[in-house]
Amino acid sequence: MQIITVQPEAIFQALADETRLRIIRLMVTTGEECCLCELVDSLLEPSYKLSRHLKILRQAGLLSSQKEGRWVYHRLVMEASYLEPLHATVQALPDLDEVYSADLKRFHERLCLREEGRCRVGILT
């Protein structure tokens, strides 16, 4: 839970990167929580890279993370008045290079592999 208050600039700084925007966009669009390996297979980026970007998003108060055995589930934080319009902004962004739609397609495919709503397969690619 995010009790700490974040500098407003840090919120926008967190979204000022293509990879992080892809992560947030996926979660805003689907409303799903997900683990790192699911993001690796959806964005086709190395885990160490995404892990670091997830940390930045967490520190900006945009995501919260919860460990479940070997997996860490990340989900959107909703408990701040500016987050609702911020999510709406992200959803209204144009998908210039069709990057987001491709991410979303792979993400949906990846979610099909869950067992009882939980990731059980690890990184595939």
Partner DNA sequence: CCAATAGTTGCACTATAGTGCAACCATGCA
Partner DNA sequence: TGCATGGTTGCACTATAGTGCAACTATTGG
Site size for a copy of itself, by CB under 8 A? 24
What is the Cα Rg of the chain in Å?
A: 14
Angstrom distance (rounded) from CA 125 to CA 122: 9
Task: Please report whether residue 66 would count as binding DNA according to CB under 7 A.
Answer: no
Nearer to a copy of itself, 28 or 119 (CB): 28
Told to check if 60 binds DNA by CB under 7 A, we report no
Is there a contact between 76 and 63 (Cβ–Cβ < 8 Å)? yes
> What's the closest the beta carbon of residue 118 comes to DNA, in angstroms?
11
Restricted to residues 70-109, the positions that interact with DNA (CB under 7 A) are: 70-72
> Of DNA, a copy of itself, none, which one does residue 7 interact with (CB within 5 to 8 Å by kind)?
a copy of itself
Return d(Cα 120, Cα 118) in angstroms, integer. Answer: 6
Number of helices and strands (H, E) in the chain? 6, 3
Q: Which residues share a beta bridge with 118?
A: 115
**Structural tokens at position 119:** 């990731």
Q: Does 123 bind a copy of itself (CB under 8 A)?
A: no
Round to whole Å and give the CA distance between 112 and 61.
29
Contact footprint for DNA (CB under 7 A): 13, 16-17, 19-20, 35-37, 40, 46-49, 51-56, 65, 67, 69-72, 119, 121-123
Contact footprint for a copy of itself (CB under 8 A): 5, 7-18, 21, 81-82, 85-86, 88-89, 92-94, 96
